[in-house]
Amino acid sequence: MSGRDGGRSEGSSAFFYGWWVVMACFVSMAMAGSIGNLSFPVFLKPLTAEFGWTRAQVSGGISAFMLAIALTAPFVGRAVGLYGPRAVMIPAAVLMGLCLMLLSQLTALWQLYVLRLGVGVGFTALAHVPVNITISRWFARKRGRAMGTAMIGAPVGGLLMTPFASSCVEWVGWRPTLLILGGLLWLILVPVLWGLLRDTPADLGLLPDGETRRATDDAPVGVEGGAGISARDTVRTGRFWALIGIYFLAYACLFSVMVHQYPYFTDQGFSAQQAALLVSVLLSASVLSGLGFGWASERYDPLQLAATCYALGGIGIALLLWAPPRLAVTGFVACFGFFFGGTTPLTALVTGRMFGMKAHGVIYGFYQTVICLSGFVGPTVMGFIYDTTGSYQLGFSGIGIGLLCAAALMLVVRARTMLLPLSGV
């Protein structure tokens, strides 16, 4: 076989195995996001009914989950950088499954909080941080489409697993349902990660993107430890702190709407089934958005795409509040769904292009901490506004303005920043 044919075969192997890695990351995002996070509200009423706890007390399980992510995300990023995604994600799947099974034996409120902390640690080590690092190692020029495909696992998992969990609770009760969900992590996710996930293409003697050699450089691209700046130098830059402010604002708006949209729809006269259907359609739109923005990022500036994404969210809120009734709901579901789906992959892609891959895991972990803190603040403030005014009008208006401000600030950062070339990250 000629050298050229051998190179083509090697590149093809890297390309196709890379997409098996993407599928492993997709499954991890889907199962960790849906089983560990999105399905929790299904257990709220059964827990309050059995133990007499208030909804606020049970909702503390969500707070414990978010707190775990906020505290551990930077450390998970460092661990993945040191030991590789596989060594972190497989034990995390075992841990999350164990915590869910132990939750089925729940007898006291403190146990709920402790075990939900454990679920949050497992989620952190299965979802955004390790998936982002893994995709960035396997792909450089094709990173956008790969990242978009992997990250839509969360909404797809929510669409599939949340109704499944709800049905299980109705049929067999909440305790057996938790055993089933924990068992699914062990029976499905652990074998998928073990069989398909590899830390880098170099583990198989391959290079990223299905490439054999770069024309100007013999080193592989897209691996951690490559071009970029250190975490210490990153936190000294103005653009690092500017992105913290932008992400906190954008995600506080995002979480506020995702938590409060269902009661908003029912307040507007929609039935419970209609409100649930609207949320499901929004999640479906987010799947298309994740893929679309991922592919677009390979041709267009990711910061400009992020600004467009935030602006779409703001437009969706404006339509919901002030457009004619038929256009209001349709426009909101479409625009905000595209915002929801595009935000997560674009956050990862912007971070890589801004700071490179040298300390990508740690830097992205810092941003995950900020995002989780916004998940504390946003929905709480929105609830306070509703309790004070008796309406979502003021709160949703503030969200629309906030998203448009986030879009404008992202464009300002872009105008003052020199992005690293894609081939160097």
> What does the block give as tokens for 344?
């997560």
Asked if residue 54 belongs to a domain, the reply is: yes
Give the confidence band of 102 by pLDDT, cuts at 50, 70, 90.
very high
Would you say residue 218 lies in a domain? no
Return all residues near 163 (Cβ < 8 A) that are at least 6 apart: none
Checking 100-108 for CB contacts under 8 A at 24+ apart, the result is: 100/35, 100/36, 100/178, 100/179, 100/181, 100/182, 100/185, 101/178, 101/179, 101/182, 101/183, 103/178, 103/182, 104/174, 104/175, 104/176, 104/177, 104/178, 104/179, 104/182, 105/175, 106/47, 106/175
Spatial CA neighbour of 240 closest among 355, 101, 405: 355
80 shares its domain with 163:
yes
- Which tops the pLDDT comparison, 193 or 62? 193
Q: Among all chains, which residue has been given the structure tokens 């803190």?
A: 373
Domain hosting residue 137, numbered range: 3-209
* Residues 42 and 140 both lie in one domain: yes
Q: In this model, does residue 9 exceed pLDDT 60?
A: no
Number of domains in the chain: 2
Q: Could you tell me where the DSSP H helices lie in 34-127?
A: 44-51, 55-83, 85-103, 109-124
pLDDT in tens, 104-129: 999 999 999 999 999 999 999 999 88
pLDDT at 90: 96
In a domain, 176, yes or no: yes
What average pLDDT does range 352-356 have in this prediction?
82
Same domain for 337 and 294, yes or no, is yes
Which residues, in sequence order, are CB contacts of 25 under 8 Å at separation 6+?
Answer: 131, 134, 135, 150, 153, 197
pLDDT digits (tens, 9 = 90+) for 116-172: 999 999 999 999 889 988 998 888 878 888 888 898 888 888 888 878 888 898 899
Same domain flag for 253 and 325? yes
Q: Are the C-beta atoms of 152 and 290 separated by less than 8 Å?
A: yes
How much is the pLDDT for 319?
95
Give the pLDDT band (50/70/90) at residue 425: very low
Q: Are residues 204 and 293 in the same domain?
A: no
If one compares 58 and 307, the residue with the highest pLDDT of the two is: 307
Mean residue pLDDT of the chain comes to: 84
- Cα 30 to chain centroid distance, Å, stands at 10
Our CA dihedral for 91, 97, 100, 101, rounded to 10 degrees, sits at -120
Whether 269 and 390 map to the same domain: the answer is yes
Specify whether 283 is located in the same domain as 174: no
Name the 3-class secondary structure at 247: helix
Phi-psi region of 309 (alpha: psi -120 to 50; beta: other; left: phi over 0): alpha
Q: Is the dihedral of CA 307, 308, 309, 310 positive or negative?
A: positive
Mean predicted confidence (pLDDT) in 201-229: 58
At 266, is the pLDDT very low, low, confident or very high (cuts 50, 70, 90)? Answer: confident
CATH number of the domain to which 22 belongs: 1.20.1250.20
Contact 63, 377 (CB under 8 A): no
Residue 355 binned pLDDT confidence (cut-offs 50, 70, 90): confident
DSSP-based helix, strand, coil % in the chain, nearest 5: 80, 0, 15
For the cut 80, the answer to whether the pLDDT of residue 315 exceeds it is yes
More confident residue, 139 or 220: 139
pLDDT digits over 330-344, tens only? 999 999 999 988 888
Inform me whether the pLDDT recorded for 349 exceeds 70: yes
Report the chain's C-alpha Rg in angstroms. Answer: 21
Residue 227 banded pLDDT, cuts 50, 70, 90: low
Residues 185 and 83 both lie in one domain: yes
Quick check: 211 pLDDT over 90?
no
* Whether pLDDT at 367 is above 70: yes
So what's the pLDDT on residue 312? 95
- Regarding whether 179 and 296 lie in a shared domain, the answer is no
| Pair 167, 260 in one domain | no
Asked if residue 249 and residue 131 are part of one domain, the reply reads no
Contacts (Cβ under 8 Å, ≥6 apart) of 288: 337, 338, 341
193 and 287 fall within a common domain: no
Taking alpha carbons only, the member of 423, 150, 422, 130 closest to residue 297 is: 422
In a domain, 425, yes or no: no
- Model pTM score: 0.77
With respect to residue 223, please indicate whether it lies within any of the assigned structural domains: no
Percent of the chain with pLDDT over 90: 38
DSSP state, 189? I
Q: What are the beta bridge partners of residue 228?
A: 356
Is the pLDDT score of 225 beyond 80? Answer: no
Q: Give the least confident one: 144-148, 249-253, 312-316.
A: 144-148
pLDDT at position 350 over 70: yes
User: Is residue 214's pLDDT more than 50?
Assistant: no
